[in-house]
Amino acid sequence: MSRRKVREVMTADVVAVAEDTLVRDVAAVIAATGFRALPVLDHAGRPAGLVTAAQVRPHGPAGHRPFPQRNRWHRNRAARTGGGRVYARDVMTAPVEAIPADASLAAAARSMDRRRTGWLPVTDSAGHLAGIVSWGDLGRVFLRPDQDIQYEIIRDVFTRYLGTNPALVQVTVTGGWVVLAGVVESKSMIPLAVSLCRAIDGVVDAASNLSYALDDTPIPSLPNLAGS
């Protein structure tokens, strides 16, 4: 089964800004680099938020544009901090959900879908910024035909790994979303099948309507009533 990792598709040479970077300077960085989103780092160098081109655009590249009505909170906060200055921490999306570099692409896709975001900061084993991954990065892998994903699940998950008769299961794939149905030999196979499907490139998430022929879950031991 294919198990590509986030580190294989992420942008590693990402530009980040500090929380106390002026928004006008953030806008200048976005304009110079062409990145549509930048990670915002705390004093320890860990992702604290994410700032996008859309978030800094109302403030203008030189900080001279008036604040629109929807940004009244930021305007008032800037006035309190003095000088009308607005910083990255004032407009960024926070808290931010980062993804480890060794996470699967499916895990990144689920995180983006849950957060309704197009970008995720990527962290190394110490929690420091390692890169950024976008829907565009995932798209090169996730734009697989549903039929290809379905074939891989039947062949690798059910036939090769679980040893299940593929005629007893039904795999439906719609836009990368997988639904499993039918019958497997034992109850313990069901969560395993779902987990294996989620690891396949192109799968956004998987759900199960599977039933089982044998309940192989351990029976809890009964208390010793005679000694009570």
Question: CB–CB of 122/137 below 8 Å?
Answer: no
- Give the whole-angstrom CA distance, residue 198 versus residue 202: 9
Residues 67, 158: one domain?
A: no
Q: Which residue has the higher pLDDT, 127 or 60?
A: 127
Q: Which residue has the higher pLDDT, 2 or 188?
A: 188
Whether residue 227 lies inside any domain: the answer is no
Residues 102, 197: one domain?
A: no
Residues 121, 156: one domain?
A: no
pLDDT for 201: 82
Residues 48, 136: one domain?
A: yes
Asked which of 10-14, 178-182, 223-227 is least confident by mean pLDDT, the reply is: 223-227
Whether residue 68 lies inside any domain: the answer is yes
Residue identified by tokens 């990145």 is 35
Question: CB–CB of 127/29 below 8 Å?
Answer: no
CATH number of the domain residue 184 falls in = 3.30.1340.30
Asked which of 16-20, 105-109, 177-181 is least confident by mean pLDDT, the reply is: 105-109
74: confidence class by pLDDT, cuts 50, 70, 90: very low
Question: CB–CB of 87/23 below 8 Å?
Answer: yes
Q: Give the torsion through C-alpha atoms of 5, 44, 74, 56, to 10 deg.
A: -50
Expressed in angstroms, the distance from the first to the final Cα of the chain is 52
Whether residue 219 lies inside any domain: the answer is no
Residues 11, 62: one domain?
A: yes
- Which residues constitute the domain of residue 179? 146-214
Q: Which residues pair with 129 in a beta bridge?
A: 123
Residues 118, 188: one domain?
A: no
Averaged confidence pLDDT in the chain: 84
Residues 61, 115: one domain?
A: yes
Checking if the pLDDT of 44 tops 90, the result is no
Residues 32, 126: one domain?
A: yes
Residues 178, 75: one domain?
A: no
Q: Which residues pair with 208 in a beta bridge?
A: 180
Q: In terms of C-beta density within 10 A (0-12 exposed, 13-18 middle, 19 or more buried), how is residue 226 classed? A: exposed
Per-residue tokens: 174: 């719609």
Whether residue 36 lies inside any domain: the answer is yes
H/E element, 131: strand 129-134
The total of structural domains in the chain comes to 2
Show the 3-state SS of 47-99: EEEEEEHHHHHHHCCCCCCCCCHHHHHHHHHHHHHCCCCCEHHHHCECCCCCE
Q: Model confidence over 119-177: pLDDT tens digits?
A: 999 999 998 999 999 988 888 777 788 999 999 999 999 999 999 999 999 999 998 89
Would you call 18 helix, strand, or coil by DSSP?
Answer: strand
